[in-house]
């Protein structure tokens, strides 16, 4: 079972550090969602699909900045990568 609270905090940190995922999935401009609703919808989607983006270079660059490659290498080796991410919240 995944810890949704950890994933949500990880997502929020990466978004604050210019992770451009909202544009990638076009959550910013839909006719059903706008503003806070779009962000909340995007976060829920990302929580459910974290396994698709957690090891992406784009995410790692936003989450760790200049040392992203170093941290991504270590996270890949972890049995519980979410616990590794949690250390940097």
Q: Which two tokens stand for residue 82?
A: 């979410």
Interval 45-57: pLDDT, tens: 899 999 999 999 9
**Domain assignment of residue 78, given as a range:** 4-86
User: Sign of the CA dihedral 11, 36, 41, 1?
Assistant: positive
pLDDT of residue 40: 82
**Sequence-distant (≥ 6) Cβ neighbours of residue 79 within 8 angstroms:** none
Domain count, the chain: 1
Kindly give, in sequence order, each residue whose CB lies less than 8 Å from that of residue 21, ignoring residues fewer than 6 positions away.
Answer: 14, 15, 42, 46, 53, 58, 59
Confidence (pTM): 0.83
Q: What is the mean pLDDT of residues 68-86?
A: 96
pLDDT in tens, 2-32: 789 999 999 999 989 988 887 666 655 555 5
């Amino acid at each position: 079972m995944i810890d949704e609270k950890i994933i949500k905090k990880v997502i929020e940190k990466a978004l604050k550090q210019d992770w451009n995922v909202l544009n990638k999935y076009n959550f910013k401009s839909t006719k059903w969602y706008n503003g806070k609703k779009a962000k909340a919808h995007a976060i829920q989607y990302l929580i459910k699909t974290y396994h698709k983006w957690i090891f992406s270079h784009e995410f790692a660059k936003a989450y760790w900045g200049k040392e992203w490659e170093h941290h991504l290498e270590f996270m890949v080796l972890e049995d519980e990568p979410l616990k590794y991410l949690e250390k940097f919240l």
